[in-house]
Chains A and B, each alone.
Chain A
Amino acid sequence: MIQTVTRPIAPATAMSATLVVARRALLKFVRTPALVGMGIVQSALFLFSFRYVFGGAIHAGASTYVAYLVPGYVATIVLFTGGGIAVAVADDRVEGFTDRLLSLPIPRYSIVMGRALADFATNAWAIVATAAFGFLFGFRLGGSIPDGLAALGLCLVFGLVFTVVFIVIGLLAPNAQAAQGMSMIAFVLAFMSSTYVPAGTMPGWLQPFAQNQPATVTINAVRALFEGGPAFHDLWQAALWCAGIFAVFLAISMNLYRKATA
């Protein structure tokens, strides 16, 4: 006689559900070579183009362009790779995986947390790889190593915050393709920031936005940390933005998961 499955004694804890959800998302990422490789190749090519193609024509104040560009580029890399998060979330919803999760006796927030945890890891990979290319293309630390690590840490925090934004985009999009398209909104934050050129060179009407939006203040803080300059003022502004965006979009995403439909 074939054995029968026994009923589990207790439902999964939030912690173990989160880890299982995260593990699956990470496995999917790692086992899709195109995802692992292309993001990095793309970010390297963009960095290369700005550094060597446009860089000569851009004057970014006193420092060399590579010293100006790399911190902002590393900090905002999630704005370019985050489309993949939105696509994965939309796919899970359309393909029924989200329904399966929602029908299981696990806390709803472990679905968001698992997703965010996995993306934290993939963001870390993108940030470290991009920073490595920065060094390869001539970037050097101006400050101490702990300051440099703090800068990378802030990049990770910014990445986590926007991960939740991309999860929301993935939940709102009708399908994966639309999620990819909608994710391009994030390019606005990347380009209308102080990543590529100082916000002060932009037209006056654009400046209030360009100077104060979340990407710019985060980039300024990351840049200050990499350069070893005073970062306090930019840091607390970045912290405020990050905390605010995180709280709002986390709440939206949990609410959307609750009524996610295919």
Chain B
Amino acid sequence: MTTVPLIEARDLTIRFGKVKALDDLDLTAPAGKVLAILGPNGAGKTTFVRAVSTLLRPTGGTLQVLGKDVSREPVAVRRDIGLAGQSAAVEPTMTGRENLEMTARLFGHPRDGARRAASIVIERLSLGDVADRRCSTYSGGQRRRLDLGASLVGAPRLLLLDEPTTGLDPISRREVWDSVRDLVAAGTDVLLTTHYLDEANELADHVIVIDHGHTVAAGTLSDLKASSGRDVIEVAVNDPSQLEAVGHILERVTSNPPRLDHNGRRASAPTAGGAKDLAIVIRTLDDTSVMVDEIGVRRPTLDEVFLTLTNAYVQNGSSR
């Protein structure tokens, strides 16, 4: 038996008037993995999730969810998915339990089945203490988790989470992450979108970076780091007013735009030349009055990988 991919998009295009929110997007998401769609604001993440949820019809190309085409079999797709959208769609005047039972009924559970599904989800997401309170009294994290629960009561094959932790404080973020991990452990496939690298790092096995409606890179995070990460020369200085000068030197040597971090008093730039470039930078700095605290070549951080990937796309895109 061959395994059907969770999601398969071929030349997927979605336009809003003149704006192409998705532009010939190609991606294959293997089943049995947690997939993160990573991209900056406006990259097309929500549009992609809405297309997978059958809320938007592709303008061009094809999109299959668990082997079913969203345009031709939207009803079958809806039976397989649970959506927790970008804003937590819980009804504030109803209790958590009432919200879950309502959604369970809409998924098709009979009354007693809905009650049972709601209780199980409440226990699984540790919402027992607040389940019988109106949601208007919930914290942001509790609302999010309840919304997650609402997408679960129908036991969907694929859970879609659009920016599940945007706007949450660090503690609530951890709570949501823990809940997602529990679900994954219980065997639900998850597609989530995020613009936080650490979130992808925490939750996902497989990452697809998109920008301007295009797939920019795909693979595991370590794949991405290995493939697109150029080493970085980083210089820490004593006097932040000298950062500009250091930045100019880095740019001249590496031919890459430097990043200046005034709070951390650091300047950095990706380099293709590695140790050779580092030596040049050190020599050049020697001839100036810059007081260097620390200098070295290191592997790029995930943030830098992400910035490199999305920037590279902007540059290629504009020169086409």
Bound CA span A94–B87, Å: 9
Bound CA span A199–B38, Å: 63
Encoded as 1 (CB less than 8 Å from any B CB) or 0, chain A from 88 to 127 comes to: 0000001111011111111000000000000000000000
Across the interface, A8 reaches (CB within 8 A) one of B55, B89, B108, B151, namely B108
**Is A63 an interface residue, CB under 8 A from the partner?**
no
Across the interface, A11 reaches (CB within 8 A) one of B79, B120, B155, namely B79
Inter-chain contact B55/A20, CB cutoff 8 Å: no
Across the interface, A5 reaches (CB within 8 A) one of B56, B102, B120, namely B120
Residues of A contacting B104 in the complex (Cβ-Cβ under 8 angstroms):
8
* Contact-residue size bin, chain B (C-beta under 8 Å from the other chain): 35 or more
Interface positions, chain A 1-57, Cβ under 8 Å from B, are 2-12, 16-17, 20-21, 23-24, 27-28, 31-32
Bound CA span A3–B122, Å: 11
Inter-chain contact B106/A3, CB cutoff 8 Å: no
**Is A261 an interface residue, CB under 8 A from the partner?**
yes
Residues of B contacting A260 in the complex (Cβ-Cβ under 8 angstroms):
55
**Is B174 an interface residue, CB under 8 A from the partner?**
no
Inter-chain contact B54/A102, CB cutoff 8 Å: yes
**Is B103 an interface residue, CB under 8 A from the partner?**
yes
Residues of A contacting B217 in the complex (Cβ-Cβ under 8 angstroms):
none
- A28-B91, A104-B78 in contact; A5/B55 too (CB < 8 A)? no
- A11-B108, A103-B54 in contact; A96/B86 too (CB < 8 A)? yes
Encoded as 1 (CB less than 8 Å from any A CB) or 0, chain B from 124 to 135 comes to: 100000000010
Bound CA span A21–B186, Å: 30
The prevalent SS among residues of A at the interface is loop
Inter-chain contact A2/B123, CB cutoff 8 Å: yes
Encoded as 1 (CB less than 8 Å from any A CB) or 0, chain B from 78 to 103 comes to: 11011101111101011000100011
Bound CA span A103–B55, Å: 7
Bound CA span A104–B120, Å: 20
Question: Which of A17, A23, A32, A104 is the most central at the interface, judged by chain B CB atoms within 10 Å of its CB?
Answer: A104
Across the interface, B120 reaches (CB within 8 A) one of A2, A7, A94, A95, namely A2
- A95-B89, A100-B85 in contact; A5/B108 too (CB < 8 A)? no
**Residue ID in chain A nearest B156 by CB atoms:** A7
**Residue ID in chain A nearest B93 by CB atoms:** A31
Residues of B contacting A96 in the complex (Cβ-Cβ under 8 angstroms):
85-89
Encoded as 1 (CB less than 8 Å from any A CB) or 0, chain B from 169 to 213 comes to: 000000000000000001100000000000000000000000000
**Is B282 an interface residue, CB under 8 A from the partner?**
no
**Is B22 an interface residue, CB under 8 A from the partner?**
no
Residues of A contacting B108 in the complex (Cβ-Cβ under 8 angstroms):
8-12, 105
Q: How far is the CB of A18 from chain B (nearest CB, A)?
A: 11
**Residue ID in chain A nearest B54 by CB atoms:** A103
Inter-chain contact B53/A261, CB cutoff 8 Å: no
Across the interface, B155 reaches (CB within 8 A) one of A4, A27, A104, namely A4
Residues of A contacting B93 in the complex (Cβ-Cβ under 8 angstroms):
27-28, 31-32
- A99-B55, A99-B89, A100-B89 in contact; A27/B94 too (CB < 8 A)? yes
Inter-chain contact B83/A100, CB cutoff 8 Å: yes
Q: How far is the CB of B101 from chain A (nearest CB, A)?
A: 9
Query: 3 tightest A-B contacts by CB?
Result: A8-B108, A96-B89, A103-B83
Q: Can you report 29 A-B residue pairs in the complex whose CB atoms are below 8 A from each other?
A: A2-B120, A5-B117, A5-B120, A5-B121, A5-B153, A5-B154, A8-B104, A8-B108, A8-B109, A10-B108, A12-B107, A21-B106, A24-B94, A24-B102, A27-B91, A27-B94, A31-B94, A31-B134, A94-B87, A97-B89, A99-B53, A99-B55, A102-B55, A103-B53, A103-B83, A103-B160, A104-B78, A104-B154, A261-B56
